[in-house]
Amino acid sequence: MSPASVFVCLSLTLLSDYPVIRVKPDNSGVVTDGVKHSMNPFCEIAVEEAVKLKEKKFIKEVVAVSCGPTQVTETIRTALAMGCDRGIHVEVSGKDYEAMGPLQIAKIFAALAKKEEASLVILGKQAIDDDCNQTGQMTAALLDWPQGTFASEVTIDGEKVKVVREIDGGLETIKISMPAVLTADLRLNTPRYATLPNIMKAKKKKIANMKPADLGVDMVSRVEVLRVDEPPTRLAGVKVETVDDLVAKLKANGTI
C-alpha cells in the first residue's frame, strides 16, 4: 500500500551574508528587517526528495507546510513550483514569530501531520540561521513516530523506509516503519530548478491558511533568550622563535 501523503515542512531562513548580519544594539537578537530571507537550503533538499518519491509513485500527494508571517507564502510557492501539490501556511507573526522556536514549530507540524493523516514528514535537518537541528526530532517525539535524521539516502520498501544516515562515524543504515519523520542532509539529492511551466502551474495550486490556535497549539516559549553577542574579534597572534619559547608561553597563559 503506498503512502497517501507526505508533508514537507519548510523553514524560511535569514541568508547569512556576513557583511550584512548584525546584532541588534540591545543584544536581544539579530537584525532581520531588510535582510533577505529565502527557503532554507536543507528544506529545498527535503522538497526535492518528496517530489522524487511522488514521481517514483511511492506517494500520492506532497503538501508543503510552513509557519511564519505572510512572507512565508513565497517559500511555499517555490515548493509548489518544484512539484508539491498544495500548501499550508500556518500564520505566526509579530512577537509570537520572534519567540517561535523548534518546540512550537514541532507542535504545529505534529498537529498538522495527525490532522491530515500524513504518512511521512520530511524536513531539512536544520535551519541555516539558528542551526538548531531540533525540529525534526521533536516532531517525531511528539507524534511518537520513528525518525530517520541526517538522511543521505531514502528508499521506500513496502510499509517501511530504509534510511542511510550520515553520522560522525560514517554511514548508518536503518529501517523504520511508516508513518515516520525524516530530515534531509546535504547529500540526499540536488534540488531541481522549477521549470517555467511549473512556476505558472503553481499559481493555481492551493495554499490553505490557518493559525496555531486552529490546531490547538500554544505558542508560549519555554526558552528565554538572555543575550546575543557577536563572536569575539579575532586577536592577532604572537610569533615565537623556538619550540621552547612556545612551550613557555603556553604554560604562562595557562593553556598547558
Contact flags string 36-65 toward other proteins, x per CB under 8 A: x-x--x------------------------
Q: What part of residues 63-82 is at the interface with other proteins (CB under 8 A)?
A: 74, 77-78, 81
Q: Does 203 bind other proteins (CB under 8 A)?
A: yes
Q: What is the DSSP string of 122-141?
A: EEES--TTT----HHHHHHH
C-alpha span between 256 and 249 (Å, rounded): 9
Question: Per this entry, what is the length of the chain?
Answer: 256
Q: Note whether 90 and 37 are within 8 A (CB).
A: no
Q: Which of 25, 169, 170, 197 binds other proteins (CB under 8 A)?
A: 197
Residue 27: how many CA atoms within 13 Å on its side-chain side? 6
∠ CA 171-52-131 to the nearest 5 degrees? 50
Lookup: cell for 184: 534531509
For residue 62, what are the β-bridge partners?
6
- Identity of the residue, 28 or 195, whose beta carbon is nearer to other proteins in the bound complex: 195
Does the footprint of other proteins cover residue 17 (CB under 8 A)?
A: yes
* C-beta closer to other proteins: residue 5 or 78: 78
Site residues for other proteins, 172-191, by CB under 8 A, read 186
Number of residues that bind other proteins (CB under 8 A): 22
Using CB under 8 A, list all residues that contact other proteins: 15-17, 20, 36, 38, 41, 74, 77-78, 81, 128, 186, 193-197, 199-200, 202-203
